[in-house]
Structure 1
Amino acid sequence: MKARLPAIMAAVLSAASLHVQAAPAPPPGQVIHHSPASSRLYIGSPSLCVMPDGSYVASHDLFGPGSKEYELAKARLYRSTDKGATWQHVTDFDGYFWTGIFVHRGAAFTLGTDMHHGKVVIRRSVDSGKTWTAPVVLAEGEWHTAPMPVIEHQGRIWRAIEDAMGGTKWGERYRARMMSAPVDADLLDPKSWTFSNPLARNSTWLGNDFAAWLEGNAVADPEGNVVNLLRVDNSKPPEKAAIVRLSKDGTTATFDADKDFIEFPGGAKKFTIRQDPQGGGYWSIASIIPERHGDAGRPASIRNTLALIHSKDLRTWETRCVLLYHPDVVRHGFQYVDWQFEGEDLIAVCRTAWDDKEGGARNNHDANFLTFHRWKSFRTLSRKDDVPMPEFTGRIQETGALTLNGVSYAIGRLETGAQAFSNRGYRWQNVPQALEGKSFTRLNGGAKEILEVTAKRDTVVRIAIATGQTPIDLAGWTAEKLEFSYDDSSRTRVVVHSRPLEKGNTLRLPRGNWTGAILILDEN
């Protein structure tokens, strides 16, 4: 009997292990820092710089409801002395937001704002980032930026920035500007810096589809002129960027909307452009939108695919290689990458939204990881080197007639007063008697959820779609005379639509507006 005990115990342990959920795979790259969604502190504004002593330093700020981003923002600084293999936390900063690190004349500097829409501030380190001066205010008022490149060209250093004094709403308030200083000036002296005139956005540009420009890149064009190449927020692909031109002394910025919008993969999200030191044009790492995700919502919200892109002339860009990918667009993201050349390699830090043992990031924007990456021999990469791009697979759930496949949904009971969305407190109102008590998929509002259904038998699929929001493709769907609402300020109506689905067929529900397609199930 005793001889059999270990085998019996092994069998019990093996059976028990089947009930233990496997730990999620770590994100790609080397994790520098993890901030779980439960902390309500999200990873923002990654910056990476190679110090004069050869070490790497990386920083990020913290945003979200657990932060003090609107009062005095906090940030963290890390160092690696082994080429990014391991990282050590060095210090925390107060008054550090949307800030980038750069090296100039043997010293390191940080330049950004002290809080969300705060003052422009700068710091200096003369010991490769170990210690820093107190922040010096370069400009009062309200400003916006990100960790953007600082370049040296024609006797000046240049850095793009936006002021946030053109209104009160996101987008309309951002005015494109450039700040510059003589290369031998004291960068901690506010008098050293020149700011160009502000350029406000015009909502009629791009056929009335221009919401904002922001997070511009200072870069020298092939003719040797400094330009500001900015992210553009528009409602649908193809993504765009804008090229603002600067006078040689940095005082005057101009823009021609008829010729200076360009198509730019990933242009609706922050990107960093650098000129190849070997004379091979320009490179960027951008959050592009593969064709398969073109219907996932507003371009700025799609962040699950990171790619290396290249241009010979700053105007025509091609995707060279897909570097990182996840098939889910709702809670996975690779964004705001800051990167540097290192010989034949590119090194980078990324704001990454990924799975963790607590259930993953709140959404693709509110990232929970800072990760480091190295891409070797980047100039030789091509589409043959793309990372695997598997099709979407989510959480499978069975009902009587359907198999549901989605990432982030819950099953709720449809009745007046019930919670409508997982991430908002809105409640259903005026639910018709014919729908009372039925099950529905409770989604995250605004997340553009993917939800696929497969028919286990011939059935009719019913969804509720909001009216008065971004139009979505409802070809094949028939509107029913059933509607209800939820208790937001607009008392938004949702209308029921239906279509037949034959046994064995799979249907991806339409998406693209804020509510998405709310699936109504006949089985309770």
Structure 2
Amino acid sequence: MKFLPLLLLTAALSLRAATVPPPPGVVIHHSPASSGLYIGSPSLCVAPDGSYLASHDYFGPKSAEFGAGRGRLYRSSDKGKTWRHVTDFDGFFWTGLFAHRGKLFLMGTDKHHGNVVIRRSTDSGKTWSNPVVLADGQWHTAPMPVIEHGGRVWRAVEDAHTGKKWGARYRARVMSAPADSDLLDPANWTISSALARDPAWNGGDFHAWLEGNAVAGPEGMLDILRVDTSGVPEKAAIVRISEDGKTAAFDPDTDLVEFPGGSKKFTIRKDPTGPGYWTLASIVPERHIGAGRPASIRNTLALLFSTDLRSWETRCILLCHPDVAKHGFQYVDWQFEGDDMIAACRTAWDDAEGGAHNNHDANFLTFHRWKDFRSLSREDDVAMPEFIPDVHETANLVIRGGPFEIAKLESGAKAFSNRNYGWQDVPSELSGASFTRLPGGVKPAIEVTAKHATVVRIATATGQKGVDVGGWKREPAEFSYTDAGRSTVEVFSRPLAAGEKVHLPGGNWTGPILIFSE
């Protein structure tokens, strides 16, 4: 009998797994949120023997990302229809696959902000050399393109040597080596001068640049970087690299361009069949503008095209989900294969355990193929599914919208669904009430209808921009949550007549937290 609860749990999970739709594409690997191991840094390459190889690393609370990163390698021998696990790597983080002159390479860092390292395989990925340190110190990157141009191979990186603050510490650089040299010999590599970002650029909205793409463009060798901004339009930065790979230059007045999806990682490749450049980017569709910082919106993947790397056109929406909090298609690495585009995606999606930790902390690695991609247009957009609201009823209220969870308000309770912040100093008169737990930084849409005449209470951080509490009365109660600033939330109320509806005010990071009795 002692095994009965376990059997019931297993049966329940199996039933849920059978009813939860799988993510789009082919699942290469699944790592549930409960594992504390989130899937990062997808990379994809076609091996010299024609097989496909895909890799990723793990990040998250149960990973070793700050000690010795861990990664995995998979192979498909049937054009991506099925995949098998090949091997694991230690000292493997932010690492990408690339092919060069009949050999395969893995290049990235050995941990979060670690040394730049490289591995080589001469047998299509069956065996690999030990990692060689090309540059020691603290470095940042992702699985970014490695290209051959002008007799050299090129790869963008960022050094993280200056300071500890995310974004501010990253300086744009490019590594290059003679194309016919031994890429495992550090002496063959040149590293360009370092460029730090200036927070005054882009009208004072320039928080970071990172995850640059080495691109041979009409203007010569370039490093095109993701730019972190507070709002739309999203931007990319074009850094110009000298022919010898030693000097980097940037003009903020001319080298910042509008780029849908530019606040998240993107991979740019030149079309091998003609003029133009392609990328896959996690754009912010119009319906989600204002739902959070652009970097936090990852639920829509689009195909983009440019003839000059400065003007970008959204050709087609390829993947999407209506929820921005726990669904994401991001960090996509891709390759041309004739008229098709093949890709590996870091995917946050539903599973038998309740889905990803959040849209960033992905639980799936998925493979995708888009046939005849050059012919795709907005007429071929996948349909955005309708948002299915969460609904919760109490004796006095009908709460509709989302995304939200219902939880108990008390000191120490988890405050947000996508952060580990906790409530503190909850007043005794509110402790034990129910509240709508929101994903922090995601703009919710919540409507409350009164079944009977009642008073509705919300809590929000009025010190944060974007919230309008006009029509709400300030109550004396307040409490806080355990972010770095110990942010204070204030309580507001308003009466509702029977049948009356109210949309809760939103727009700031904390959001409108509804406090109510069941």
- Structure 1 length-normalised TM: 0.91
Which amino acid in structure 2 is aligned with residue 256 of structure 1? D
Tell me which residue corresponds to 2:449. 455
2:274 aligned with 1:272, yes or no? no
CA contact (8 A) 1:326 1:332 kept: yes
The whole-number CA distance in structure 2 between the counterparts of 1:327 and 1:234 is 23
Question: What is the CA distance between 1:420 and its match in structure 2?
Answer: 3.9
Which amino acid in structure 2 is aligned with residue 323 of structure 1? L
The whole-number CA distance in structure 2 between the counterparts of 1:222 and 1:492 is 48
2:173 aligned with 1:188, yes or no? no
CA contact (8 A) 1:276 1:283 kept: yes
Over the aligned positions, Cα root-mean-square deviation in angstroms equals 2.3
Question: What is the CA distance between 1:455 and its match in structure 2?
Answer: 1.8
1:372-400 Cα distance to aligned partner (Å, 9 max, x none): 00001101111111111023214321122
Question: What is the CA distance between 1:475 and its match in structure 2?
Answer: 6.5
Tell me which residue corresponds to 1:213. 209
The whole-number CA distance in structure 2 between the counterparts of 1:88 and 1:300 is 32
Tell me which residue corresponds to 1:251. 246
Tell me which residue corresponds to 1:387. 382
Uncovered stretches (5+) of structure 2, i.e. residues with no partner? 1-10
2:82 aligned with 1:86, yes or no? yes
The whole-number CA distance in structure 1 between the counterparts of 2:165 and 2:102 is 40
Tell me: CA distance 1:417–1:149, structure 2 relative to 1, closer, same or farther (3 Å). Answer: closer
Tell me which residue corresponds to 1:318. 313
Matching residue within 366, 371, 374 for 2:366: 371
The whole-number CA distance in structure 2 between the counterparts of 1:183 and 1:191 is 14
1:134-168 Cα distance to aligned partner (Å, 9 max, x none): 00110111100000001111111111110111211
Tell me: CA distance 1:300–1:394, structure 2 relative to 1, closer, same or farther (3 Å). Answer: same
Tell me: CA distance 1:476–1:158, structure 2 relative to 1, closer, same or farther (3 Å). Answer: same
Question: What is the CA distance between 1:103 and its match in structure 2?
Answer: 0.6
Matching residue within 114, 120, 125 for 1:124: 120
1:436-461 Cα distance to aligned partner (Å, 9 max, x none): 554322334x2526342242547664
Counting matched residue pairs gives 502
Tell me: CA distance 1:323–1:501, structure 2 relative to 1, closer, same or farther (3 Å). Answer: farther
Equivalent residues in 2 for 1:96-495, closer than 5 Å = 96-223=92-219, 225-399=220-394, 400-412=396-408, 414=409, 420-422=415-417, 423-424=419-420, 426-429=422-425, 431=427, 433=429, 435=430, 438-444=433-439, 446-448=440-442, 450-455=444-449, 457=451, 461-469=456-464, 471-474=465-468, 476-486=470-480, 488=482, 490-495=485-490
CA contact (8 A) 1:327 1:392 kept: yes
The whole-number CA distance in structure 1 between the counterparts of 2:259 and 2:159 is 23
Question: What is the CA distance between 1:520 and its match in structure 2?
Answer: 1.9
Which amino acid in structure 2 is aligned with residue 453 of structure 1? E
CA contact (8 A) 2:104 2:120 kept: yes
SS at match of 2:295: helix
1:154-183 Cα distance to aligned partner (Å, 9 max, x none): 111111110111211110110000011111
The whole-number CA distance in structure 1 between the counterparts of 2:333 and 2:268 is 9
The whole-number CA distance in structure 1 between the counterparts of 2:80 and 2:414 is 46
Which amino acid in structure 2 is aligned with residue 480 of structure 1? R
Question: What is the CA distance between 1:295 and its match in structure 2?
Answer: 1.1
Question: What is the CA distance between 1:482 and its match in structure 2?
Answer: 3.2
Which amino acid in structure 2 is aligned with residue 94 of structure 1? D
1:388-438 Cα distance to aligned partner (Å, 9 max, x none): 1023214321122223333341232x45666544543523425274x4554
The whole-number CA distance in structure 2 between the counterparts of 1:501 and 1:289 is 35
The whole-number CA distance in structure 2 between the counterparts of 1:373 and 1:236 is 30
The whole-number CA distance in structure 1 between the counterparts of 2:299 and 2:48 is 34
The whole-number CA distance in structure 2 between the counterparts of 1:78 and 1:259 is 42
Uncovered stretches (5+) of structure 1, i.e. residues with no partner? 1-15
Which amino acid in structure 1 is aligned with residue 362 of structure 2? A
SS at match of 1:256: coil
CA contact (8 A) 2:469 2:505 kept: no
Which amino acid in structure 2 is aligned with residue 328 of structure 1? D
Tell me which residue corresponds to 2:65. 69
Question: What is the CA distance between 1:474 and its match in structure 2?
Answer: 1.4
Tell me: CA distance 1:151–1:484, structure 2 relative to 1, closer, same or farther (3 Å). Answer: same
Question: What is the CA distance between 1:57 and its match in structure 2?
Answer: 0.2
1:485-523 Cα distance to aligned partner (Å, 9 max, x none): 1253644221234567787787654444332210122x4
CA contact (8 A) 1:44 1:367 kept: yes
1:196-240 Cα distance to aligned partner (Å, 9 max, x none): 0000111111122111000000111124x0110000001111111
SS at match of 1:358: coil
SS at match of 1:323: strand
CA contact (8 A) 2:421 2:481 kept: no
The whole-number CA distance in structure 1 between the counterparts of 2:156 and 2:194 is 11
The whole-number CA distance in structure 1 between the counterparts of 2:244 and 2:124 is 31
Tell me which residue corresponds to 2:51. 55
CA contact (8 A) 1:485 1:491 kept: no
Tell me which residue corresponds to 1:6. none
The whole-number CA distance in structure 1 between the counterparts of 2:305 and 2:497 is 46
1:21-55 Cα distance to aligned partner (Å, 9 max, x none): 56210000000000001110000000000011111
SS at match of 1:229: strand
Tell me: CA distance 1:113–1:430, structure 2 relative to 1, closer, same or farther (3 Å). Answer: closer
CA contact (8 A) 2:443 2:508 kept: no
The whole-number CA distance in structure 1 between the counterparts of 2:184 and 2:130 is 10
CA contact (8 A) 1:410 1:443 kept: no
Matching residue within 507, 516, 523 for 2:511: 516
The whole-number CA distance in structure 2 between the counterparts of 1:241 and 1:503 is 51
Question: What is the CA distance between 1:94 and its match in structure 2?
Answer: 0.7
